[in-house]
Structure 1
Amino acid sequence: MTVKRNYKPVKINDKTTIEIGNAISTKMALELCKHYGVGHLVIRIEEDQGAFKAWIFDGAS
């Protein structure tokens, strides 16, 4: 059985759209956290950006 998923790319602003398979850098993760109002993660990332590494967006992470 095949499961069909209706996935829409995440649009952050006029210049930034994230799709499944895109690499998310620390800078992009910071922008995402700011966009979605996740202030505690913004603070955590800004305090030690070197502690994070890029990851591949899978639509759920």
Structure 2
Amino acid sequence: MLAISAPTLLGLSDTVRTAVRTATPETLCVGVEGFGLSPELDARVRAATAALRIVHPRASVSL
């Protein structure tokens, strides 16, 4: 299953890396495929976002 998804995952990691490098230090935009469609995924993303805000309180995080 990972072998099938590997090209997509690697492409996404390159996209994320580029976005992080070009973003201002206090801005993070998070996009998660399926967000808003799965309560379990939404809860995990919101928990991760809340943890990020604790570690980086000056950061602006949007979903």
TM over 0.5: no
- TM (norm. structure 2) is 0.29
